[in-house]
């Protein structure tokens, strides 16, 4: 039985065409974002070499190990809004001589620049991840940006390369991605799209690739959510090939930022104290990213039908009110099952648009917005969002395969904010193992699912789940209230398997197939 009723209950059927690959899922779709904001860098990732908290070269050992287990593929730094007031030369050399500054964007606190270029690459080396450096267009010069690239990547004789050596690094680092400014329509300079497009053309010229075997992927600053005029303008002005052999024109990627929260632009609401109406409001906005991405993609297709430019969703996630009693400029918020479902929904959407989306970085990695980790002194906890990323890591570098649901309805409180009851994506790795990720967005109703493969049969199946009440979260008093667990309540069939997915849950299957 594939549809209808089983034991008097409605069955949703998940069809998987395991033989039809639709695209490749870049590992960087599971990327992360770290900014000099609140306690993300300091206390979260970096505690200094002399800290009583266990560390390696200043990087928190517990946090680094947890992030390695989650398989972070790429890390973006130093912002965010901070990027366009960051002057990199203040953050190199002896720490006691580094300039101090006021972080005017985030809390008005003093930034001592003890975490700079060398520290960022040290962190990425410990994590084993790719590097994404965001340059300063808003308050920085072309020369400053050009010299930074030279400092980081030139393996030769030059003032900047020699300075890097004086500061303790003989060999250059690899810069995998370089962003030319950040949110230049807002905190990055309040620019018009035409003005930024001209600046981008100029600045990107001087991001020299000193090592042709390690090209720098150049990212143009893109739109705020549904600002389609911005995308059209920068592509019109910047997607022009300077030479016939340069198929990418002036850019390799174009960013877009999108945040889910309650009442866009207004009061966002508590991260932990909310009801069903706020639950569905947030999840409907999370679903809203798909229309935004599709409309931006349509504009990109007009200029770039061969999809040579990647869409980089390098800021996304839930943005709620800060926790009571914390600095409003630190953006510290708790993380519930609502955030876990937002992560699951968003990542499934990114998977299904992997033909255009080549990177996505959740905001932010520790102690800020939709974090995967929270810290408090020596204590550390994993959030529900962490567990979703940990389960979804098997999608990295796999191939998206065709899948669809039949029999799933809609759920919600308001007619305008209805969402699908269940949502999925499916991939297959190089060993032929399927990863199936599903989300049940219902707050109370479990759903019976029949998973059907096209030709093959399952030989071995394992599963993991994150679930709980919609307001459930982990605190330092109860750090494992929401965690990842084995899921064994499924039955193999000749065509696939059957199971019941609990309400308010994120579920992941690994399916090894016969033959």
Q: Tell me the catalytic residues.
A: 183, 315
Q: Which tokens go with 17?
A: 């065409």
User: Strand ranges (DSSP E) for 238-389?
Assistant: 253-260, 310-318, 357-363, 373-376, 379-382
CB 161 within 8 A of CB 155: yes
d(CA 390, CA 344): 11
What are the DSSP calls for 401-456, one per residue? EEEEEES--EE-SSGGG-EESEEEEEEE-TTS-EEEEEEE--SS--EEEEEEESS-
- CA angle, 182 as apex, 178 and 187 as ends, to 5°? 160
Q: How far is 268 from 279, CA to CA, in rounded Å?
A: 12
Please report how many Cα atoms fall inside a 13 Å half-sphere around the Cα of residue 436, on the Cβ side.
Answer: 30
Question: Which residues contact residue 9 at a Cβ distance below 8 angstroms, ignoring those fewer than 6 apart?
Answer: 448
DSSP secondary structure code for residue 85 in this structure? G
Please give the angle made by the CA atoms of 337, 343 and 345, to the nearest 5 degrees: 100
10 Å CB burial of residue 245 (0-12, 13-18, 19+) is exposed
Q: State how far the Cα of 234 lies from the Cα of 111, in Å rounded to an integer.
A: 33
3-state SS assignment for residue 488: coil
Find where tokens 């974090």 sit: 371
Under DSSP, is residue 370 helix (H, G, I), strand (E, B) or coil?
A: coil
What is the distance, to the nearest Å, from the Cα of residue 275 to the centroid of all Cα atoms in its chain?
26
**Closest C-alpha among 447, 368, 387 to residue 14:** 447
Reported as half-sphere exposure (CB side, CA atoms, 13 A), residue 234 has a value of: 32
Q: In this structure, what token pair is assigned to residue 97?
A: 């001589």
CA distance 34 to 276: 31
């Amino acid at each position: 039985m594939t549809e209808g009723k089983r034991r008097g209950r409605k069955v949703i059927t998940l069809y998987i065409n395991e033989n039809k690959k639709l695209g490749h899922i870049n590992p960087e779709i599971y990327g992360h974002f770290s900014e000099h904001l609140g306690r993300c860098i300091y206390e979260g990732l970096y505690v200094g070499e002399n800290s009583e908290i266990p560390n390696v070269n200043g990087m928190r050992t517990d946090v680094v190990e947890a992030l390695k287990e989650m398989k972070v593929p790429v890390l973006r730094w130093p912002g965010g809004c901070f990027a366009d007031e960051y002057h990199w030369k203040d953050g190199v050399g002896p720490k006691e001589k580094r300039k101090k500054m006021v972080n005017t964007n985030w809390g008005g606190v003093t930034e001592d620049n003890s975490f700079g270029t060398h520290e960022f690459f040290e962190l990425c080396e410990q994590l084993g991840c790719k590097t994404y450096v965001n340059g300063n267009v808003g308050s920085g010069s072309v020369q400053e940006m050009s010299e930074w690239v030279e400092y980081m990547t030139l393996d030769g004789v030059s003032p900047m390369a020699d300075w890097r050596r004086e500061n303790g690094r003989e060999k250059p680092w690899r810069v995998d991605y370089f962003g030319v400014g950040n949110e230049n329509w807002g905190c990055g300079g309040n620019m018009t799209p035409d003005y930024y497009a001209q600046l981008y053309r100029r600045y990107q010229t001087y991001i020299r690739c000193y090592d042709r075997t390690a090209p720098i992927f150049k990212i143009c600053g893109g739109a705020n959510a549904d600002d389609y005029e911005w995308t059209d303008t920068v592509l019109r002005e910047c997607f022009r090939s300077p030479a016939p052999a340069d198929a990418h024109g002036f850019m390799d990627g174009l960013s877009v930022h999108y945040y889910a929260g309650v009442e866009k632009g207004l009061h966002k609401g508590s991260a932990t104290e909310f009801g069903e109406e706020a639950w569905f409001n947030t999840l409907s906005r999370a679903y809203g990213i798909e229309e935004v991405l599709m409309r931006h993609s349509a504009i990109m297709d007009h200029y770039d039908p061969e999809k040579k430019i990647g869409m980089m969703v390098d800021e996304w996630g839930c943005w709620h009110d800060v926790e009571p009693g914390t600095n409003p400029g630190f953006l510290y918020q708790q993380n519930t099952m609502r955030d876990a479902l937002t992560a699951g929904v968003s990542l499934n959407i990114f998977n299904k648009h992997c033909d255009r989306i080549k990177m996505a970085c959740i905001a932010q990695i520790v102690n800020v917005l939709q974090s995967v980790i929270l810290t408090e002194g020596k204590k550390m906890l994993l959030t529900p969002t962490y567990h979703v990323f940990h389960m979804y890591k098997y999608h990295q570098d796999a191939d998206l395969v065709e899948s669809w649901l039949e029999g799933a309805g809609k759920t919600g409180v308001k007619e305008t904010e209805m969402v699908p009851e269940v949502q999925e994506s499916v991939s297959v790795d190089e060993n032929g193992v399927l990863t199936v990720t599903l989300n049940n967005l219902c707050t109370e109703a479990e759903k019976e699912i029949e998973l059907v493969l096209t030709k093959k049969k399952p030989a071995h199946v394992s599963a993991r789940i994150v679930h709980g009440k919609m307001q459930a979260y982990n605190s330092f008093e109860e750090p494992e209230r929401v965690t990842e667990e084995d899921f064994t309540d499924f039955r193999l069939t000749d065509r696939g398997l059957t199971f019941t997915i609990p309400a308010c849950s994120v579920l992941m299957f690994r399916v090894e197939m016969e033959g």
